[in-house]
Chain A
Amino acid sequence: MSDHTASPSKDHAGAHDTHSIRGYMTVYFALLVGTALTVWASFIHFGSHEVNIAVALLIASVKAFLVGGYFMHLISEKKMIYSVLIFTAIFFVGLMFLTLWSFADFPPKTVTH
């Protein structure tokens, strides 16, 4: 079963070896710069704290895209993986929006302590 007649993983291998090391290093340095940028941006006042949160999460999302896309090869992955992750993405977003419901549960400006 596992003889090397087919070895279709080879073609996958060819796409990613030596020539993309430079690509990986570029992503690495982009991630380092992104980290420095996040720290720097957190000390800048963009007018309101909400904007600071948005900026930090935006940078984090770009970094996450770089890690996911290049280190985890999601840029060029098989359809099967995408079809799993699209559901994950939908449920994840749903999970985040569930928190909005909590605002409906409390009378406005209730402070319990």
Chain B
Amino acid sequence: MDIPYTVDVRRDTGLYNAKVGIWLFLASEVMLFGALFSAYILLRVGQPAGHWPQGWLNIPLGTANTFVLITSSITTVLAWAALKEKNFGKFKFFHAITILCALIFVGIKSFEYYDKFTHYTITQKDGKFADGHFRNATYVDPVSNAQSVESCYRGTTFTKPAGTNAVKYQLVSVTLNGHVVSDETLLFDLKSHKPAAAHGEAHAEGAAATAEHVATAEPAAASHGGHEDITIPAANIQKVSSYGPAHHPYNAIYFTLTGLHALHVIGGALVIGFLWAFGGKMWKTDPERFTNRIEVSGLFWHFVDLVWIFLFPVLYLL
């Protein structure tokens, strides 16, 4: 049985059915993202003054990703227009760019995610905060005194299988590449405060607390107030927190919004990729129906672009 109105226009709606379908779906998508945007507003206004992060994301990368998505949108339109001109080769070319853009977008996004998951704030028992990218964590087996340097944080203790029994390692110290501040709010506003002054002063204090590494860390810190390797002994560690979703409500809504958006990019790319790779058959038998499929998948793709147009300023710039 044929599916009705794949090409022909229904008299009552004035449209082929898939187009009504995709718009109903997009209407529900507006509400889905709308709910999360309102969650963002609530989380943001619920924070005390100065506790909503500014400048935590990489603006050049976000801008690049915006350009990438806009480019993928125009190539989607051009791919559809090429089919209207009965030019299948041109369609293939433009939609190949769309798919490539989708891959670039997801690649850049993955890098940004990785950057957040390897970025830590350590709340110190002396009331200061060490903040930076993870270098390594040193653990020791108290029984044999054997040390183990791990490339990711594995908690205050972890067990490693060794032959028949397991060895329980305990945290000795964590090394971050970053700086130490005495006021947590300095970590929230990376956009407007002057890093050199704040970090230089604070780092010298922090280095004193990490007596073992003063020799290596302090001279470098004195010469320029940038990011240095700081080692915090376990005795001074109160809390270790990566910039994952649990770090701050901002991170929670950032990962929720961009994660859901990235899933849409991946889903859209799969559909467009499928039509790109296997669409030739339908193009030969029913070109108008295929063109409509491209239009409908394109409408979804533009919607994904449209969501990003709001996500970018809201999460990266404001």
- Could you list which residues of chain A lie within 8 angstroms of chain B, going by C-beta atoms? 1-2, 4, 6-9, 13, 16-18, 20-21, 24-25, 27-28, 31-32, 35-36, 38-39, 42, 49, 52-53, 56-57, 59-60, 63-64, 67-68, 71-72, 78-81, 84-85, 87-88, 91-92, 95-96, 98-99, 102-103, 111, 113
Contacts and interface: CB of A to CB of B under 8 A. Distances in A.
Contacts, number: 147
Contact of A84 (B24, B66, B312): B24
A98 B34 CA distance: 11
A1 B66 CA distance: 43
A56 B299 CA distance: 24
A83 B230 CA distance: 60
Nearest to A91: B31
25 contacts: A1-B8, A2-B2, A2-B289, A7-B288, A16-B81, A17-B84, A18-B81, A18-B85, A24-B78, A27-B74, A28-B70, A35-B67, A35-B312, A39-B317, A42-B317, A53-B318, A56-B313, A57-B310, A63-B309, A71-B298, A71-B305, A81-B15, A95-B34, A96-B37, A99-B38
B48 A111 contact: yes
A60 B73 contact: no
Contact of B84 (A7, A13, A49, A78): A13
Nearest to A101: B42
**A interface: dominant SS:** helix
**B interface: dominant SS:** helix
Most central of A13, A20, A71 by chain B CB within 10 Å: A71
A7 B7 CA distance: 7
B67 A85 contact: no
Contact of A52 (B19, B310, B318): B318
Interface in B74-132: 74, 76-78, 81, 84-85
